[in-house]
Chain A
């Protein structure tokens, strides 16, 4: 263990959730490797539990999301010693959660790969302007649910403020593939949420 990050730890002590940067969370997990104090894990939990749960929920259901969240946190505890510090803790945690989700998909539907689980668009399109209103957010939610799984996953991760590199790391896909998925996801949403007459006006 290097003295530099030990000194850094002494400075940050136990940083509060709001001020914790990705670097701090890395150091905290490295500290946890040396001394498995549950209070350290508690800080990760306060910071990332809801985000992870939401990420899983939007790709499954409440029961599965809760179950997978639990499994992800258990794995994080058990595998903390293998954490090398190359990626952020959040990226690592989401990778764990994502792998659990893929395993669950394969277990439930062994014949169907997530990439193929594309669903049909909803013809009831609403103008984008209306989507900013709370009551119309459900339509956007439905549209997002209809995206192919890999596109939805990339979009959700990007909305979680992960960079392209981090999304690539979590999903195991190349950066160009991730960019393509994001582009297609947006094109698809735009297409579904734009009324037919508005689209035809634009094409004139």
Chain B
């Protein structure tokens, strides 16, 4: 009996030597395998319930996940998300920040209190050449000095001021040659935040105010004053 039983099945094109595939044993094995396969397939078919379940599955109207469909869906989702993002960016009001601008005019220090968009507070830095060592030392000195000044002004300060309504807000003036301009937009914001509108009306009617400022000079409180500031001559 030949040991080479690797000849293909009768239906397959021959890949081995004809002499080997024609041995009796090989033919017997091939016949047996064919017979076994047919018999096994007959014996092991899907039974009725299995067949029915599978057929129902196949016959069920299942949506075919065609690549075009989901691609279109993804495109729609991306477009929708982009539209929402644009709308959000467009509709979001610019962030407003409290801003104090200080000017010196003769004897007077003029503080302008206003609301300004955050972007205006951080303008893109102009391209400058790298600071020299001396400039760096000076900047460090200024920072340390400003920290020292702030540490000395941790307590809020209240001063009596005159109030004068102008076209673009209020102008407040203290005895120590300080003029404070409160811009109309800041006043509008303060009025909006005011819970008791009666208090605000009193403020608007008052000629004198008590101005409370924080360590950085920002306005903490405005109260109606009962009498004019007493300035030392």
Contacts and interface: CB of A to CB of B under 8 A. Distances in A.
B41 A128 contact: no
Interface in B34-55: 34-37, 39-41, 44-46, 50-51, 53-55
Nearest to A163: B12
Nearest to B51: A49
Interface string A48-73: 01110110011000100010011001
B67 interface: yes
Chain A: interface size category: 35 or more
B29 A128 contact: yes
Given A36-B64, A132-B35, A155-B33, A58 B40 contact: yes
B21 to A, nearest CB: 10
A183 B58 contact: no
Contact of B6 (A81, A82, A156, A179): A179
B58 A42 contact: yes
Contact of B46 (A66, A144, A179): A66
A187 B3 CA distance: 7
Contacts of B3: 187, 190
Contact of A140 (B4, B11, B33, B67): B33
A129 B28 contact: yes
B64 A81 contact: yes
Nearest to B66: A81
B54 A128 contact: no
A131 B35 CA distance: 9
Contact of A194 (B1, B35, B61): B1
A190 B29 CA distance: 7
Nearest to B1: A202
B49 to A, nearest CB: 10
A33 B41 contact: no
Interface string A134-173: 1001001100100000000001101111011000000000
B28 A128 contact: yes
B25 A159 contact: no
Given A141-B36, A186-B29, A45 B6 contact: no
Chain A interface, >50% SS class: helix
B8 interface: yes
A50 B13 CA distance: 25
A177 to B, nearest CB: 13
Interface in A186-204: 186-187, 189-190, 193-194, 198-199, 202
B42 to A, nearest CB: 9
B219 interface: no
Contacts of B25: 128, 190, 194
A190 B28 CA distance: 10
Contacts of B28: 128-129, 131-132
B31 interface: yes
A6 interface: no
A77 interface: yes
Nearest to A78: B65
25 contacts: A33-B66, A36-B64, A38-B58, A38-B61, A45-B55, A49-B46, A50-B41, A53-B46, A54-B40, A54-B41, A58-B44, A62-B44, A78-B65, A82-B67, A131-B32, A132-B32, A140-B36, A158-B9, A159-B33, A183-B4, A186-B6, A186-B7, A186-B29, A189-B5, A194-B1
Interface of A: 32-33, 36, 38-39, 41-42, 44-45, 49-51, 53-54, 57-58, 62, 66, 69-70, 73-74, 77-78, 80-82, 128-129, 131-132, 134, 137, 140-141, 144, 155-156, 158-161, 163-164, 179, 182-184, 186-187, 189-190, 193-194, 198-199, 202
Interface of B: 1, 3-9, 11-13, 15-16, 25-26, 28-29, 31-37, 39-41, 44-46, 50-51, 53-55, 57-68
